[in-house]
Amino acid sequence: MTDSRFEAFFTGPARDFLLRAIDLALDEDGPDLTSLAVFSPEDRLAARIVAKQDTLVAGLPILPLVLERMGEAARCRAVFFASDGDAVPDRTVVAAIDGPAVTLLKAERVMLNFLCHLSGIANRVAQAAAALAGSGTRLLDTRKTLPGLRYPEKYAVTVGGGVNHRKNLAEMLMFKDNHIDRAGGIPQAMAALRRAYRGRMEEMPPVEIECRTLEEVGQAVAERPARIMLDNMDAPAMRQALAMVPPGIETEVSGGVDLPALAAIAALGPDFVSVGRITHSAPSADFSMLLKETTAS
């Protein structure tokens, strides 16, 4: 299955992390001793993957990768009736796979775990993005992801209509409270950064500064970072803080944001709002694999 968005996202390290996650999932299951006892190597099954709710689809291109990592892709035939990003109704068949019985039975749970989890994230992101519709505020994810699944989860965020924040610690120079407190303040933290990367600042990733108070916002504005984050501020403080930030510096609201609060936050006019719940608390979508024995080839 070829999906341009999937292929564009999963390149370089992102693809390596995805393949390692698939390999780990297959290794976790070990050999399917039950299926090996009941089915012969010649037995084949026809599988249909069916949505059991109205849902967005995210993760379908992972299914053939599972077969590929098992070394069984050449012995299987797959047809897809949906693409990532499609909204499908309950009982929609999104894919059909024909292959050796022992292969499909071992692959079944790994395939469904990825598809259900990523589609669930896409659903939650779409709900949050809908609350921001019509505003200039964009939805950001966070690094609050399951260990080893950061890249698939962040891919699902893009399928649902969100925007990725930094995928790793090296993609942005981000001053959080611990850095600022250790340095003695925002000016001191920025001075430490310039000393550490003297002569290389133009090569470094953009700088974001997390601010807890209006005083810190003023200090951050003086440093001209790429972005200022307003952390755990109430609405009046956010309104004042946003008015202090000049054009040319992006603004982000973060800290305990839930879906019902999004519309009110967007009305204040920040560029971004980051929400950990879209990944760490997204319920899985419901898909199942229906299997039927076919004539041995």
Domain 4-129+283-294 has CATH 3.40.50.620: no
pLDDT at 2: 73
Give the length of the chain: 297
Domains of the chain, residue spans: 4-129+283-294, 134-280
CB 146 within 8 A of CB 43: no
Nearest Cα residue to 55 out of 93, 87, 94, 91? 87
Catalytic, 144? Answer yes
Among 75, 109, 167, 194, the one annotated catalytic? 109
**pTM score above 0.85:** yes
Tokens coding 34? 């039950």
Report the C-alpha gap between 119 and 60 in whole angstroms: 9
pLDDT at 37: 97
Among 75, 176, 194, 277, the one annotated catalytic? 176
Report the C-alpha gap between 252 and 246 in whole angstroms: 13
Catalytic, 181? Answer no
pLDDT at 137: 97
Among 32, 210, 223, 252, the one annotated catalytic? 210
In angstroms, how far is CA 81 from the centroid of its own chain?
A: 23
pLDDT at 82: 97
Among 143, 144, 167, 194, the one annotated catalytic? 144
Q: How far lies 48's CA from each of 26, 71, 96, in Å?
A: 20, 21, 4
**Under CATH, what is the fold of the domain 134-280?**
TIM Barrel (3.20.20)
pLDDT at 296: 55
Write out 29-77 in H/E/C secondary structure: HCCCHHHHHHCCCCCEEEEEEEECCCEECCCCCHHHHHHHHCCCHHHCE
Among 84, 108, 231, 252, the one annotated catalytic? 231
In angstroms, how far is CA 70 from the centroid of its own chain?
A: 25
Phi (first) and psi of residue 164, to 5 degrees: -75, 130
Judged by DSSP in three states, 80 sits in: strand
Catalytic, 109? Answer yes
**Each residue's pLDDT expressed in tens, for the chain with a length of 297 residues:** 678 999 999 999 999 999 999 999 999 999 999 999 999 999 999 999 999 999 999 999 999 999 999 999 999 999 999 999 999 999 999 999 999 999 999 999 999 999 999 999 999 999 999 999 999 999 999 999 999 999 999 999 999 999 999 999 999 999 999 999 999 999 999 999 999 999 898 899 999 999 999 999 999 999 999 999 999 999 999 999 999 999 999 999 999 899 999 999 999 999 999 999 999 999 999 999 999 988 654
pLDDT at 74: 95
In angstroms, how far is CA 238 from the centroid of its own chain?
A: 27
Catalytic, 231? Answer yes
pLDDT at 153: 98
CB 129 within 8 A of CB 161: yes
